[in-house]
């Protein structure tokens, strides 16, 4: 059971990093969010979804 949760957690972290890299943020912010999520996964993911995620480009 613990290994299944571990696999789910790793997949969740990878999914969030992919979301960061595919998003509409400038490259410097993408790198910053990716590093934060890699170093502090749980806190980084929560902060990204609360503060950093943009669903569309700002110019539209």
Instruction: Quote the pLDDT of residue 60.
Output: 54
Confidence of residue 2 (pLDDT cuts 50, 70, 90): confident
**Segments making up each domain of the chain, as ranges:** 2-50
Q: Give helix then strand counts, H and E, for the chain.
A: 3, 0
Q: What is the SS3 string spanning 28-50?
A: HHHHHHHHHHHHCHHHHHHHHHH
What pLDDT shows up at residue 53? 81
pLDDT class of 57 with cuts at 50, 70, 90: low
The tens digit of pLDDT for each residue in 3-46 reads: 999 999 999 999 999 999 998 889 999 999 999 999 999 999 99
pTM score > 0.85 for this model? Answer: no
């Amino acid at each position: 059971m613990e290994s299944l949760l571990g696999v789910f957690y790793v997949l969740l972290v990878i999914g969030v990093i992919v979301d960061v890299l595919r998003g509409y943020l400038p490259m410097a912010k993408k790198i910053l969010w990716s590093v934060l999520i890699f170093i502090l996964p749980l806190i980084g993911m929560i902060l990204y979804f609360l503060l950093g995620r943009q669903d569309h480009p700002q110019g539209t």
